[in-house]
Amino acid sequence: MEIQKAVCYLRVSTQKQGASGLGVDAQRAAVERYIQQAGNIEVIEEFVEVETGKGSNALAKRPQLRAALESCRRRSATLLIAKLDRLARNVHFVSGLLETGCDFVAVDMPKANKVMIQMHAVMAEWERDEISKRTKAALSAAKARGIALGTQGLTNLKPNIDARKAEANLFAEKLRGQFDGFRLRNLTQRQMVEELNELGIRTPAGYLWKLIQVQRLIKRLATP
């Protein structure tokens, strides 16, 4: 079996995460699991980025990604990342990356082609915008109730955010067995949506399932 050369790129979004190692270890572990399953991949270099990912020219803000891509071009290697959203939740950025000519694999979507990757980027960008809208709405509502904003305000909101996240995790865990069964039966995500609705299982808000909700739950179950 021919050995394929690969360059590993890991990214975290804040200096705090970078200093603590939060996120990086989980990404590295995901890449290592993929390599073990493939059996013919050799990582020749690793790059770790710590940045915000904000700005109109995201690639310019990521010197480690530029270096990783250059290494891939120079050594005819494939770029490996743990998750597509570690690159960017930005459609134009992902499209530009696809045009660089470098092969790359997101190990959470190893069989994804270019069209699927662009569709995923569209949904990730939409989700990012929705999160931003909900955060702004929560801040406005908190301000209207007289809650101090700024650093103190964020501290006041954090318990609510953490509580919602804990509830979402608990709901996902309740469905883990169901989704394990789906995977054993090799159901597509659309088939999962249909079966959940046919079984009368509802979303946390009590509605019928849609594809994006199934994708989010699968992602939540896969997050370490």
| Residue-wise pLDDT tens digits, 76-89 | 999 998 877 666 55
At 30-60, the pLDDT tens digits run: 899 999 988 899 999 999 988 655 555 556 6
Cβ 10 vs Cβ 28: under 8 Å:
yes
pLDDT at position 189 is 92
| Continuous H helices in the chain | 15-20, 24-38, 63-75, 91-98, 114-144, 150-174, 176-184, 189-198, 211-222
Sequence-distant (≥ 6) Cβ neighbours of residue 165 within 8 angstroms: none
pLDDT above 90 as % of the chain:
20
Write down the pLDDT at residue 21: 45
Q: Is 103 helix (H, G, I), strand (E, B) or coil?
A: coil
> The tokens of 46 are what?
């690793």
157 pLDDT tier (thresholds 50, 70, 90): low
Q: Report the 10 Å Cβ neighbour count for 214.
A: 20
Nearest to 85 by CA among 13, 33, 7: 13
pLDDT value of residue 133? 74
pLDDT in tens, 115-137: 666 666 666 666 666 766 777 77
Strand order in the sheet with 78-81: 41-50, 4-12, 78-81, 104-106
In this model, does residue 154 exceed pLDDT 80?
no
Amino acid in position 67 = A
What pLDDT score does 215 carry?
92
Give Cα 3 distance to the centre of its chain.
Answer: 28
> Which amino acid makes up residue 121?
A
pLDDT greater than 90 at residue 145:
no
Q: Say whether pLDDT at 18 is over 50.
A: no
| Per-residue pLDDT at 76 | 92
213 in Cβ contact with 130 (< 8 Å):
no
pLDDT above 50 for 169:
yes
Let me know the angle formed at the C-alpha of 203 by 212 and 194, rounded to the nearest 5 degrees. 65
